[in-house]
Structure 1
Amino acid sequence: MTENIQGTFTSEKISKIRWQRDDFDEAKSFLTGSWDNPINSIAYWKFETSEEDETYPVSIFSCPFLGDVTEIQFINKDHFVVSSSHGSVKLLQIQEDPYHKFKEIVSWDSIHQFKTTDQASCTALATFNQDIATVGEDGRINLLAGQQKKPFRVIENADSCSLLCVDFLRHNEIITSNTRGHMKLWDLRNDEDTPATTFMLPDQLKTEATDIAHHPTQRHIVAAGGGDGSLTVWDLRQSTYPISQLMAHDQAISEVIFHPDRPDNIFTCSINGELWHWKNAQGSKLKLETSDTHWLTTRGNSSKINISSLCAPLHKPINSIDIDRSTLLFGCDNEALYVVKDILV
């Protein structure tokens, strides 16, 4: 571990970690969710300052959670959505005054289940303002609104196998992926429960997309982390064939994220305990719409990308990452969370 990395023992495996972002100021608080416990938890953390003028994260409060936490996403500064391996989704509010607690606003119970009525994990969710899309092991897509107690639309048989990922590209369009490596674009304006486009990860990869992320300002640019550790990028305006395929980690990517303000920086973490920072070698002006986007246009060749490891391999899965400005958070199966400071982006 280098000097700019700080670890905090949590006594539980961390499945998700998310900054609570402020519109103007640097984020100073975040959420974690756990997995692999009989009763899991969601915890709210803040940074405090020691007498030596060093900042460190402190758990302010937490609440029990049934099932593994499979995703956490904020829909505004104080409200967030959390999904469960029991097939349920909750909208919660962070309340600090006068009580430190999470207030439940809506609970969508068992919205993912198999035809046998057995529980199916809600494997992922995505948000666009107040709209929420969830996918699960049952191959179903649910569309939720923040104040409605029932899904306003259900695509019952969206896929014949488990769905792993979902992401909003725009208000009326989502992308999903399944365990066979099939990617589907859905136009939500269409009343038909069929995708607008279906495509696959490249045949030579023979893997599934384990996580999907869109470029923060050009949402037609999509990056997918693969079950084989690969990183694949599409420009969905042009074609459903990827414009970049890069072999990355030697095991599955857990999460892939673009830096929200400097999207020429991508971060990936893997179940092999690696955390990587991908940066365009030309500097900070990455123009994705032009042909000089080197790391996006050179298949299989990472010579024009700076790839750096942000920590020594932990030999336990790193499950989740999030970055705000130059500070990155990540959660691991070694029952710890980590803060990486002063990242050059």
Structure 2
Amino acid sequence: MTNLPSERAVGKVSKVRFAPSIGYEDTTLLFASGTWDEEEENVISLWKAEQKPPPLHMILNAYDTKVVGEVKQPGDISDLCFISTNYLVAASSRGTINAYRLVEMENLNEQETSDGTDLLTEKIIELEKISSQTLHNWSTTANNYYVSATGLAIEPDNNDDLEIASVGEDGKLVFSRITDTMTEIIDADTGIINGLVWPTSHEIVIATSGGRLKKFDRRNPRTAVAVAKTEGKGLDRLTCLTVNPNKTMQLASGSANGVVSIWDSRNLVEPLKKFEPHKLSIWDIVFHPNRSETVLSCSEDASIAILDLSKTLLTSYLRGRDEIPRLPNNFNCAPLNSLDYHPSAKLLVSGSDDARLFFDKLNDD
């Protein structure tokens, strides 16, 4: 585990997500970050992280990172999801789901040299908005109030006209497409939904602020086919949810009490394993793509924890925080709101309320 230099973002970072890789040996990575809590509009930024050539890439600062595209969006950026390297979907606190096409363009910049002024050509990416729908709101006879959309998931195993699933503070699960305005709205919960995953074409699981996981069948999603209730000290409010990319039946949830729970979606009765890696709310959680037994989580307590699922034998055993490895970072004391991991680059990126992005190089051996 190696700390790399951080980058200053344009505001408090609410979400970070890597774009899918084109090839395993990619030396240029693309990722997106979103902000929150800005007075006016928030910003989605596209970043390129380019690996330095040998032998320079062996030193600590192995990547040059820069912003190559930006777009402003009203409301907080509450979630980001790449459909492919060319399409990005964003959820906002205004209840809106926006879809963008990433268009690469050339930009001419003047650069002062000893011989005068030269024109430098650089590649930038324009985020072209192709769809915008307000899907989460409270409707009354006289008024329509927006509420935050809190999570996104993309239909798996479909390369044609993909469906997008979104959830929000209105307790709704909404299915939509970029290509039209037709939607299907499900009353999934009476409270706030904080996360969802779409592991298989028919299976969708949501995580609620009431501490429940609910599984739905896409073929008939009006009623949950399975419900699990967490148990903890006080209200074990679920704050995030992820699926193991190599074992789609394995889920991990994070809670407001700093607890990570591991679930089997085929039998949502109780967690298979529980950890307590954080002192405060867990805001994001991911499975390590190359190591199925490793989970990474980030928290309000400004830490990133690395959980090894293979070392916990008892189903209900709650490990002490002091025994769990953490990524050291002496530069950040603010809440960490999001993280993502790039498997071929072995690069972890996280975003903070300190308006910074932090990079860590992980050893997969």
Instruction: Pick the TM interval, shorter chain.
Output: 0.7 to 0.9
Q: Does 1:142 align with 2:174?
A: yes
Deviates more, 1:39-48 or 1:233-242: 233-242
Instruction: Quote how far apart the aligned CAs of 1:61 are.
Output: 1.8
Deviates more, 1:306-315 or 1:31-40: 306-315
Between the aligned residues of both structures, percent identity stands at 24
1:224-275 CA-to-partner distances (Å, cap 9, x unmatched) read 0111000111112244211111122010101110012322221000011011
Alignment partner, residue 16 of structure 1: 15
1:120 aligns with 2:159: no
The reply to whether residue 335 of structure 1 matches residue 358 of structure 2 is no
Aligned residue for 2:83?
Answer: 75
- 2 CA distance for matches of 1:100 and 1:123? 26
AA in 1 matched with 2:218: L
Q: How many residues align?
A: 327
Aligned twin of 2:5: 6
User: Structure 1 234/144 Cα, relative in aligned 2: closer, same or farther at 3 Å?
Assistant: same
**What code does the residue aligned with 1:187 have?**
D
Q: Secondary structure at the match of 1:255?
A: strand
2 CA distance for matches of 1:266 and 1:50?
Answer: 28
Residue in structure 2 matched with residue 309 of structure 1 by the alignment: 326
Alignment equivalent of 2:131, drawn from 85, 106, 114: 106
- The structure 2 residue matched to 1:131, chosen from 150, 159, 163, is 163
SS where residue 316 of structure 1 aligns? Answer: coil
Structure 1 residues 30 and 279: alpha-carbon distance in aligned structure 2, compared to 1, 3 A threshold: same
CA contact (8 A) 2:2 2:360 kept: no
Residues 68-107 of structure 1 deviation map (CA, whole Å, 9 limit, x = unaligned): 0000011112111100000000111111135631011221
- Unaligned stretches of 5+ residues in structure 1: 281-292
Give TM-score, length-normalised by structure 1. 0.88
Q: Secondary structure at the match of 1:262?
A: coil
Distance 1:185 1:62 in 2: 36
Q: Are the counterparts in 1 of residues 3 and 328 from structure 2 also a CA contact under 8 Å?
A: no
Deviations 1:280-316 (A, max 9, x none): 5xxxxxxxxxxxx44364422548x973211236321
Please name the residue that 2:244 is paired with. Answer: 215
Maintained 8 Å contact 2:81/2:153 = yes
Gaps of 5+ in 2: 107-123, 157-161
1:31 deviates by: 0.7
Shift in Å at residue 131 of structure 1? 2.1
Task: Check 1:202–1:274 CA distance in 2 against 1; reply closer, same or farther (3 A cut).
Answer: same
Match of 2:121 in 1: none
| Regions of 4+ moved over 4 Å | 48-52
Per mean C-alpha deviation after superposition, the further-off stretch among 81-90 and 42-51 is 42-51
1:16–1:69 Cα contact (<8 Å) kept: yes
Distance (Å, rounded) in 2 between the aligned partners of 1:112 and 1:13:
24
How many Å separate the matches in 2 of 1:340 and 1:120? 34
Which has more radius of gyration? 2
C-alpha displacement at 1:188, in angstroms?
1.5
Taking structure 2 as the reference length, the TM-score comes to: 0.83
Question: What letter corresponds to residue 37 of structure 2 in structure 1?
Answer: D
Alignment check: 8 A CA contact 1:179 1:208 kept = yes
Distance 1:3 1:328, change over 3 A: closer
State the partner residue of 1:287.
none
Cα distance in 2 between the residues matched to 1:104 and 1:13: 23
- In the alignment, residue 274 of structure 1 is paired with which amino acid? S
Residue 236 of structure 1 corresponds to which residue in structure 2?
265
| Cα shift at 1:163 | 1.3
The 1:276/1:203 distance shift into structure 2, 3 A limit, reads closer
CA contact (8 A) 1:215 1:221 kept: yes
Find out whether 1:64 has 2:72 as its counterpart. yes
Which deviates further from its counterpart, 67-76 or 17-26? 17-26
Q: Post-superposition shift, 1:115?
A: 2.2
Match of 1:324?
342
Q: Which residue of structure 2 lines up, in the alignment, with residue 158 of structure 1? A: 188
Correspondence 1:41 to 2:43: yes
SS of 2:253 mapped into structure 1? strand
Q: 1:73–1:81: 8 Å Cα contact kept in structure 2?
A: yes
SS in 2 for 1:299: coil
Contact preservation (8 Å) 1:163, 1:177 = yes
Instruction: List per-residue Cα deviations over 1:180-237 (Å, max 9, x = no partner).
Output: 112211112116x211112211255631111111111211111101110001111122
Give the Cα–Cα distance (whole angstroms) in 1 for the partners of residues 211 and 32 of structure 2: 30
Deviations 1:24-75 (A, max 9, x none): 2346121111111111011111124679945221111211111100000111
Q: CA deviation at 1:120?
A: 0.6
Moved more, 42-51 or 314-323: 42-51
Contact 1:44 1:61 in 2 (8 A): yes
